[in-house]
Amino acid sequence: MSFLGKNGKLAATALALGSLSLLLNASPAFALSQGDLVSGGSIWLETTIAVALVFVAAMAFSLQIARGYFLRTLEKFTLRLGADIWWLAYVLIRDGLIFMSFIMGLLVFFPGTLGDYAIAVPFMPVSVVLFGVALITKLYFDADEDRNVFRVVTALVFGGAASWIFGVIFVTETPLALAPSNMPSSISTTSGFWYTLANTFNSQTNPDLYMASFYVCFTALGILGVLGLAHPILHSRVGKGLNPVIQQNQGPVTPSSIPTRAAQGFNGMGHESAGIPRGSLQASTLSPPDKVDYIQ
pLDDT tens, 114-167? Answer: 777 889 999 999 999 999 999 999 999 999 999 999 999 999 999 999 999 999
At residue 196 the predicted structure's pLDDT band, cuts being 50, 70 and 90, is: confident
Q: Decide if 141 is inside a domain.
A: yes
- pLDDT at residue 272 tops 50: no
CA angle 72, 74, 76 (to 5 degrees): 85
Q: What pLDDT does 86 receive? A: 94
Sign of the alpha-carbon torsion through 155, 152, 129, 63: negative
Q: Decide if 51 is inside a domain.
A: yes
Q: Decide if 98 is inside a domain.
A: yes
- Segment 98-104 shows an average pLDDT of 96
Q: What pLDDT does 11 receive? A: 62
Q: Decide if 93 is inside a domain.
A: yes
Query: Which is nearest to 58 in space by CA: 175, 197, 169?
Result: 169
- Least confident range from 165-174, 226-235, 236-245: namely 236-245
Q: What pLDDT does 235 receive? A: 76
- Segment 281-285 shows an average pLDDT of 44
Residue type, 236: S
Q: What percent of the chain has pLDDT over 90?
A: 42
At residue 93 the predicted structure's pLDDT band, cuts being 50, 70 and 90, is: very high
Q: Decide if 262 is inside a domain.
A: no
Sign of the alpha-carbon torsion through 248, 251, 255, 256: negative
CA distance 164 to 170: 10
CA distance 103 to 199: 28
- Segment 202-224 shows an average pLDDT of 92
At residue 278 the predicted structure's pLDDT band, cuts being 50, 70 and 90, is: very low
- pLDDT at residue 55 tops 50: yes
Neighbours of 1 (CB within 10 A): 5
Altogether, the residues listed in the chain come to a count of 296
Q: Decide if 139 is inside a domain.
A: yes
Neighbours of 13 (CB within 10 A): 10
pTM of this prediction exceeds 0.75: no
Q: What pLDDT does 25 receive? A: 55
Neighbours of 65 (CB within 10 A): 13
Q: Decide if 287 is inside a domain.
A: no
Contact 247, 240 (CB under 8 A): no
CA distance 248 to 148: 36
Question: Using the 8-state DSSP alphabet, how is residue 202 labeled?
Answer: B
| Domain hosting residue 50, numbered range | 39-178+187-230
CA distance 257 to 83: 9
Residues 6+ apart with CB under 8 A from 171: 118, 120, 123, 197, 198, 201, 202
Domain count, the chain: 1
- pLDDT at residue 240 tops 70: no
Contact 263, 147 (CB under 8 A): no
Q: Decide if 280 is inside a domain.
A: no
CA distance 66 to 40: 39
Contact 114, 199 (CB under 8 A): no
